[in-house]
Amino acid sequence: MIGAEQSLLSFMDAPVVVGDPDGAAVYVNPAFEARFDVTTDSTEGMPLSELFEGGGREAVLRSVAQVLTHAESVRFRVRERGVGFAAVASPIVAQDACVGVVILLKEEVEGGERLMAIHREIADPVDELQGLLDALLEQTGGRRAAQYRAGVEDGLRALTRVRKWVDELGATLAGRGGAGGESWDPAAVLQIVARRFVDQPDLPSDLQVLVPAQLPTARGDGAKLETLLLRLLQDRLDQDPAPEGLTLGSRSVGRGAGRCVLVSITEHFRQGGYAPSSPQIPLLAEVLGSCGGVLHSTSDPALGRVTLMRFPAPDEGSGVA
């Protein structure tokens, strides 16, 4: 069911298990194999709950049933062999149907003082790198230095992500908020994605951008989403056959607590053919699942393939930015 996605999931440090529509295991990544002393071959076909011990089985069974029934992400905790894990179970949706579930486990780390010391150690070199890259950017303003300037700008973007997570770690250790409260500007992020995508030489497909100048903020990790969207678009270009054109779109729907932001990628094909799913899809599902969103994928021989991401937006009257 996941095919090429295994290559990406295998590099994740966190344990991941993928289940089919019946809640049976079809894949566990190397981190899961090492942590739980199992293999994909030995677990294939087993109920996901049977991979865990004691009370964890009931928690997994209940969460998987909820995901497969309602196609909504569920957070829960399990304790395995004396170690606590915070888990997120997210749906895999295709053609308006839930076709599987992905469970990501993150070990709950103890020792706050040690983490705070690590936070301080990370923050210092981040500040030094920021100063160095800012200085280099000032020295790469001419056209002859365009390639170096682009590299410095990429480094600054990566450093922005590092600083974001350093700040997030500091806020979490101080007891203020967490990743669930993050928000991002969809209009700004999608325009950045479009600009970076069309800057590629010899672009084989046309990209049409249907994004309003302003959209409400949405919950989620905008920096990670920017990276994944760029990789997804590149995957679409590398497939055989490649699409004749791509449309990147977004709009807001709903009001109050039901308000959300929709982001879509539509692939247009001359003969209605399309290649298998991108390896980025499980990672996009994880990003959406962490903020309460849902990923849909539909295909039609005449219309092409649409990947639709639904991000919850803060209630207009909640005061959340």
pLDDT in the model for residue 32: 92
Residue 3 CB contacts under 8 Å (≥ 6 apart), including other chains: 276, 277
Angle at 153 between CA 151 and CA 159, to 5 degrees: 105
pLDDT in the model for residue 146: 66
pLDDT along the chain (321 residues), means of 10: 54 87 92 88 92 85 90 85 84 85 81 62 76 75 64 76 70 48 79 78 72 83 81 77 82 81 84 58 74 78 79 60 37
55: left (phi over 0), alpha (psi -120 to 50) or beta: alpha
Residue in 203, 308, 314 with CA at minimum distance from that of residue 254:
314
Q: What is the pTM of this model?
A: 0.44
Report the DSSP pairing between strands 183-184 and 218-219.
antiparallel
CA distance 90 to 102: 5
Strands (E) located in 33-141: 74-80, 83-94, 97-107
pLDDT in the model for residue 131: 77
Q: Is 280 within 8 Å of 238 (Cβ atoms)?
A: no
303: left (phi over 0), alpha (psi -120 to 50) or beta: alpha
pLDDT in the model for residue 200: 64
pLDDT in the model for residue 277: 59
Largest Cα span, the chain: 64
